Structure 1
């Protein structure tokens, strides 16, 4: 149970009209804090959409409640606003409302100016993943390289402020199945010093879209020339690097190689999913205008695969693989809805899948497998299989099935948001929650790998030879 905070908290919620912030995580967490008597208030919402729009609030009852209770100011932001003009508006709002916390939950390509401004003001920051992305990072090498450079500058500015809080709410860091897997990896490493030697992460997103829907801008959109790597991939990259750091052995470097990339334009030209599109179109309530997709959208990455070689001063110690594909099964049964065409709510799930198989091997001594096969929005089921060599106490295959694996987890993203606000208020949250929080200085390896992957995807667009590589050092 958290101790009562010592002072009220004024929150700036960036992207506060989005589904994740308003319906699934941040706003519900703040409402729960209010019910327990915490003096927290959303003082301003920054979003291109009007938080007072009745059509929007009809889909988001929690946002409607917080708007009624707090009457937050609306800071309208969107394309066409310069970073300097946005900073002036944020500064003016800060002078009026004295923000204690900035929660950043907008499109990842828009994160940077909010993070830089909040850090420069010493305001505590909670930022959804991925921390940074740049428009056109999928095909412009300069923009891709900016991801790592801006992260390093942001980290430097954060570390120069003693006591500054900067956290990233990563669901899988707290999910019971992933927590258990990490504990098994660390336990074996502590007992036998056996590092991670092989792993694979195969993700099937199954997120089918009609061609015109690729131009819709949202947190899972392609409209800014960056695609699927900036979706949920960051969660799995974070788990991969977390497991490496739990059982590093003599690993000094990682060599990343791009084995495959398929872009939106490649996908649409292939015609491989035309059949589902033909079935869905008659089911649409509304028609989005037919348009020619821009080159930026067409070049955004949709499917990709990487290898990560584990090196010790040039010697190979093992290999990890990471693949993501949208060109897989989709459960979608509806066409374009009126609310999609009107833009009153973000692009909804509509058949997006959450299917994966994740393997981790620690030499000859231990193997873990996590698997899931669900549609987004269903009660997820995660299966964890575990084997150890009999000579070190293994008893055959052990299997644990986590039912309703996200919502029934001991720590949820809502808990992390509530704990962060409590910390910002000077309170002391439950260590069972704070132990599962990710902070900016602990994201160095994950964000370095993520940024390097974008550099390789961008380089691929210009390279004559396939399979570009880059080496990054372990921290």
Structure 2
């Protein structure tokens, strides 16, 4: 077993004042490592917000603990600064702190300069999903096309650095329900060579925003000309492609076609969801400035649906569908909060739902259905239903319910962050955790599907009458 490092592992935390990094995952994982005696130190936090702001720390006790213990430097990126200027700023901080790990948890459209710089330096990278997103990709074809090019360049740079670690903490990769589903799919494919032939993934996010909240610029906002596809969708695309790779059979290519897209401007202009907004207004603590619905916000995608044809050369082997909507039930009961106006915390859930049905078929031999119907912030329950044909040992419908499915999972995102830091230090991490980690090389198909979807959404803006498609090769 590798020895623990003699010197503290030096971490640069990008986007360290955001809710996911500071309250839910990365900072709590670092604090757990500290309690276990592992030498790790947050040497610097890069964020537009001041990590020492008492109003911010009042909402984030874990972050308060880290800044009290480690006294990290604050790197404040300057809006509008060139990538080269930001990288010079990072290099100057690196010369002082000698970063061993860079954790990137800022807005996805801001990931690229940090990823390029850290990879070129050979510094290990843990990056939240989606890995690369580009401003205005929802309506500018050139921006959408840049997503795949930048990913491929990053992958090439990573592969040119022997021993370089680059991982993505994807919760569903480690979730017990999704892991079990993958095991069933792989088992049937290994024993009968039966690929996936049909499936549907329908996700209802229910993330209701008051009109002026679309102008908020925090992580996963709409002010950068991209929307819901850059948010939780990447998780479901990753599971879709992971299952395809576990049971690919003769599948050589995927043909993606955009069937439907609804943009923020379409949503706000329709007025069909004004009722909940009127009910929320009396519950607002404060008022945000009136919305300036610029082109970027109005054209960002909100709801969409795709088909994914499974091909072998010119032969059709099956089809998958993926749909996502925010225009669905919301559990929201609060209006605008004072912290929204003060920008002391990231825009939080406020009634966002996590409802989905994932229905998968391996020909006539196996059927799996994963379903969930919960409000974000509550304990999640995931139901897995499973059938196999009686000729191969099927005994009817089997059902497993995973209560508190995220927090009670054998491996959590905190475990992944902690294991990654352990590996980056040259120490041995728990194989039960590392086996469920997503590394950059394993994200090729997911990210190419993600990039292709933005290409299709952008093309639709210029010709809404067409049904464009993009061919993606299996790796």
Q: Distance in 1 between matches of 2:472 and 2:428?
A: 37
Contact 1:124 1:424 in 2 (8 A): yes
Q: Give per-residue Cα distances to partners, 1:65-97, cap 9 Å, x unaligned.
A: 000000000001252222122111100100000
Contact 1:261 1:303 in 2 (8 A): yes
Contact 1:202 1:358 in 2 (8 A): yes
Per the alignment, residue 409 of structure 1 pairs with: 409
- From the superposition, tell whether residues 5 and 399 of structure 1 become closer, same or farther in structure 2 (CA, over 3 Å): farther
Pairwise CA distance, 1:464: 4.9
Per the alignment, residue 118 of structure 1 pairs with: 118
Contact 1:205 1:328 in 2 (8 A): yes
Per the alignment, residue 206 of structure 2 pairs with: 206
Per the alignment, residue 89 of structure 2 pairs with: 89
Per the alignment, residue 444 of structure 2 pairs with: 444
Per the alignment, residue 191 of structure 2 pairs with: 191
Pairwise CA distance, 1:2: 9.3
Per the alignment, residue 345 of structure 1 pairs with: 345
Per the alignment, residue 16 of structure 1 pairs with: 16
Per the alignment, residue 141 of structure 1 pairs with: 141
Contact 1:6 1:425 in 2 (8 A): no
Contact 1:108 1:132 in 2 (8 A): yes
* Aligned positions of 1:282-431 closer than 5 A: 282-431=282-431
Q: Distance in 1 between matches of 2:183 and 2:59?
A: 40
Q: Distance in 2 between matches of 1:178 and 1:116?
A: 31
Contact 1:260 1:467 in 2 (8 A): no
Query: Gapped runs of 5+ residues in structure 1?
Result: none
Pairwise CA distance, 1:6: 5.4
Pairwise CA distance, 1:311: 0.4
Q: Distance in 2 between matches of 1:6 and 1:450?
A: 41
Pairwise CA distance, 1:7: 4.4
SS at structure 1 position matched to 2:59: coil
* Aligned positions of 1:33-112 closer than 5 A: 33-112=33-112
Q: Distance in 2 between matches of 1:3 and 1:45?
A: 27
Q: If the length of structure 2 is used for normalisation, what is the TM-score?
A: 0.99
Contact 1:2 1:430 in 2 (8 A): no
SS at structure 2 position matched to 1:257: strand
Q: Distance in 2 between matches of 1:330 and 1:79?
A: 33
Contact 1:47 1:78 in 2 (8 A): no
- From the superposition, tell whether residues 272 and 2 of structure 1 become closer, same or farther in structure 2 (CA, over 3 Å): farther
SS at structure 2 position matched to 1:58: helix
SS at structure 2 position matched to 1:164: coil
SS at structure 2 position matched to 1:443: helix
Contact 2:106 2:219 in 1 (8 A): yes
Q: Distance in 2 between matches of 1:315 and 1:6?
A: 58
Range that drifts further, 287-296 or 95-104: 287-296
Contact 2:198 2:363 in 1 (8 A): yes
Pairwise CA distance, 1:217: 1.2
Q: Give per-residue Cα distances to partners, 1:381-414, cap 9 Å, x unaligned.
A: 0000000000100000000000000000000000
Q: Which 4+ residue blocks in structure 1 deviate beyond 4 angstroms?
A: none
Q: Does residue 455 in structure 1 map to residue 467 in structure 2?
A: no
Query: Gapped runs of 5+ residues in structure 2?
Result: none
Q: Distance in 2 between matches of 1:463 and 1:5?
A: 57
Q: Give per-residue Cα distances to partners, 1:137-163, cap 9 Å, x unaligned.
A: 000000000000000000000000110
Q: Give per-residue Cα distances to partners, 1:416-444, cap 9 Å, x unaligned.
A: 00000000101000100000000001100
Per the alignment, residue 157 of structure 2 pairs with: 157
Tell me how large the CA RMSD over aligned residues is.
1.0
Q: Distance in 2 between matches of 1:347 and 1:236?
A: 22
- From the superposition, tell whether residues 429 and 3 of structure 1 become closer, same or farther in structure 2 (CA, over 3 Å): farther
Q: If the length of structure 1 is used for normalisation, what is the TM-score?
A: 0.99
Q: Does residue 265 in structure 1 map to residue 265 in structure 2?
A: yes
Contact 1:201 1:323 in 2 (8 A): yes
Pairwise CA distance, 1:207: 0.2
Count of residues in correspondence between the two structures: 475
Per the alignment, residue 170 of structure 1 pairs with: 170
